[in-house]
A and B are shown apart, each in its own frame.
Chain A
Amino acid sequence: MSAVLESMSSSPTVIPLEKAVPEKRARSERLASQGVSLANGKPRLRAFALAVLPPVLGVGLLILLWQILSANNSSFPSPWVTWQEAVRMFSDPFYSKGPNDQGIGWNILASLKRVGLGFGLAAVVGIPLGFMIGRFKFLAGMFNPIISLLKPVSPLAWLPIGLLVFKAADPAAIWSIFICSIWPMIINTAVGVQRVPQDYMNVARVLNLSEWKIFTKILLPSVLPYMLTGVRLAIGTAWLVIVAAEMLTGGVGIGFWVWDEWNNLNVPHIIIAIVVIGVVGLILEQALVALAKSFTYEEAGN
């Protein structure tokens, strides 16, 4: 969870810098084309360097530490060996030699499919439930104690229940994803509904809007940013949980693959898997951040 929060807080600081650079370039180019001699190009170059240098340096340092570690430890592969292995692996990501030996691509897709199913079901159940809990105090009173009690439980604790009910590993893993994704969606949607500004509800009352118009024109647009925050938190947690769930259930999937490679003592593959899991998680999160941005409306203050 803390990783999710960190990436949340750091992402807005990066984006404006990237946006600012091309805009400045356009202006200076325009000035240059008018025959204006620019004072110097340094500030622009510096801003660019300041944006690029720290991340590059950070990654470089990590690789250096890794190199030192592997040099003193024969069981740990060096960055170069791992890189070569990764290149070999990604040159054929979709091979299939039986159920226990499939390409990394199939493993990622299998995990994403589980996350998608569990997450989708959680959205179908959680978002309407959140709306109702937010709208009706009675329902909030009914559900709040249950949510408070069950929210802190690790989704993996639900895995045996899933196995018991569904009698199969795959639905049980999806079940765990469903459980861990549903809480943030319910809670954020409910909070969003409760925070719809009273002014907007007064407008609805004065105009005497129908329940359907209230829902489509007022509730939904003003809840959407909250809802998407819930969805984003949910996808982050779901991606964390799927790895652990798959380690327990087996089959095809990135989590089980990590465990399998551990049994084979193939450490480079484990490291590659860690990076791949990180990259996929990052892409999922950023996609939802972008989606949320396009649905966020500035408050129409004075």
Chain B
Amino acid sequence: MSIVRSNAKFIEVQNAEMVFETRKGSFHALTKVNLNVEQGEFITLIGHSGCGKSTLLNLLAGLTTATEGALICAGREIAGPSPERAVVFQNHSLLPWLSCFENVYLAVERVFAAKETAAQMRERTAAALALVGLTAAAQKRPNEISGGMKQRVGIARALSMEPKVLLMDEPFGALDALTRAHLQDELLRIVAKTGSTVVMVTHDVDEAVLLSDRIVMMTNGPAATIGDIVHVRLERPRERVALAHDALYIDYRTRVLEFLYHRQARPHKEAA
């Protein structure tokens, strides 16, 4: 890889434990999670549903706090949510009473209001929407655009803040296969351009191999942890049709599938 990684331990997760207190008693979601993410690296978290991959992402986002262990980002402990770690939610979470432009502007304003003029911030907002190809839909409300477009606004909102880390929780999970492929390609293009550090939760093996530098595979919950990590050493830019016949690609894909379906077969009896 030609990209020079300036910081090998940009994100550090050390012995993270997560226990949820519920009405039925405590639920041990994550145990002994250790992970280092390099600056500019694209990481995907994959595993069966209920394995705690979203829980780990929420810890990185600061939306929840780890019961034990330490989470560090850019040399500072993660104490709460911050615009430095932008989140793209699975259900896009756009505010329905604001236009696409206003949704993005809300984020831009929060981060840059102290340093920039309103005109500069409007420019930033327009640039973020242009990056995801939504200039024409800027003045539309979220209910007037398609699911794929909404998700792109969500990505634009996250990128507009120039975050240190982009956290994505199954961002394309609710989309149809063609839209998903299109957005994956766009994400690859955008990340290549911005050099963002990305942690993304997915349940799609092809998506994981296509996008990632490393695939973090999680064991089944309760008390889930990192089972194995696959380094994806495929040249970038990656092209999905060419990769379909690539022996290395198929090998990575098989390794992930083996982990998911042989070593960590989906639990049947557990209700959780």
Contacts and interface: CB of A to CB of B under 8 A. Distances in A.
B150 A300 contact: yes
Contacts of B174: 302
A298 interface: yes
Contacts of B7: none
Nearest to B143: A298
Interface in A263-302: 297-302
B110 A207 contact: yes
A297 B99 CA distance: 12
Nearest to B102: A217
Contact of B142 (A208, A218, A300): A300
Interface string A165-183: 0000000000000000000
Residue among B82, B95, B142, B175 with the highest chain A CB neighbour number at 10 A: B95
A80 to B, nearest CB: 53
Interface in B81-133: 81-83, 85-87, 89, 91-98, 106-107, 110
B110 A297 contact: no
A205 B93 CA distance: 12
Interface residues of B, number: 29
Interface in A61-100: none
B97 A221 contact: yes
Contacts of A301: 91
B77 to A, nearest CB: 16
A208 B143 contact: no
Interface in A173-222: 199-200, 202-203, 205-209, 213, 217-218, 221-222
Interface in A10-69: none
Contact of A206 (B86, B95, B143, B150): B86
A301 B107 CA distance: 21
A208 B109 CA distance: 11
Nearest to B142: A300
Contacts of B89: 199, 202-203
A106 B83 CA distance: 59
A206 B110 CA distance: 11
Contact of B91 (A199, A208, A222, A298): A199
B61 interface: yes
Contacts of B106: 207, 209, 213, 217
Contacts, number: 65
A52 B95 CA distance: 40
B97 A206 contact: no
Main secondary structure of the interface of B (DSSP, over half): loop
Contact of A208 (B81, B92, B150): B81
Contact of B95 (A208, A217, A302): A217
Interface string B129-171: 0000000000001110001001000000000010000000000
A200 B81 contact: no
Main secondary structure of the interface of A (DSSP, over half): helix
B265 interface: no
B96 A206 contact: no
B63 interface: yes
Contact of A297 (B81, B143, B150): B143
A299 B106 CA distance: 19
A199 B98 contact: no
Contact of B147 (A222, A297, A302): A302
Contacts of B150: 300, 302
A299 B81 CA distance: 25
A214 to B, nearest CB: 11
A297 B96 contact: yes
B94 A206 contact: no
Residue among A209, A298, A300, A301 with the highest chain B CB neighbour number at 10 A: A300
B147 A208 contact: no
B63 A208 contact: no
A302 to B, nearest CB: 4
Contacts of A206: 61, 63, 81-83, 85-87
A300 B110 contact: no
A301 B93 CA distance: 9
Contacts of A299: 96, 143
A200 B93 contact: yes
A203 B110 CA distance: 12
Contacts of A200: 93, 95
Contact of A209 (B110, B147, B161): B110
A222 B147 CA distance: 21
Contacts of B81: 205-206, 208
Contacts of B147: 302
B96 A203 contact: no
A206 B81 CA distance: 5
Given A206-B61, A300-B142, A218 B95 contact: yes
A300 B94 contact: yes
Given A208-B110, A213-B110, A221-B97, 8 more contacts: A203-B93, A203-B95, A205-B80, A206-B87, A208-B82, A297-B96, A297-B141, A300-B96
9 contacts: A200-B93, A208-B81, A208-B82, A221-B95, A222-B97, A300-B95, A300-B141, A300-B143, A301-B91
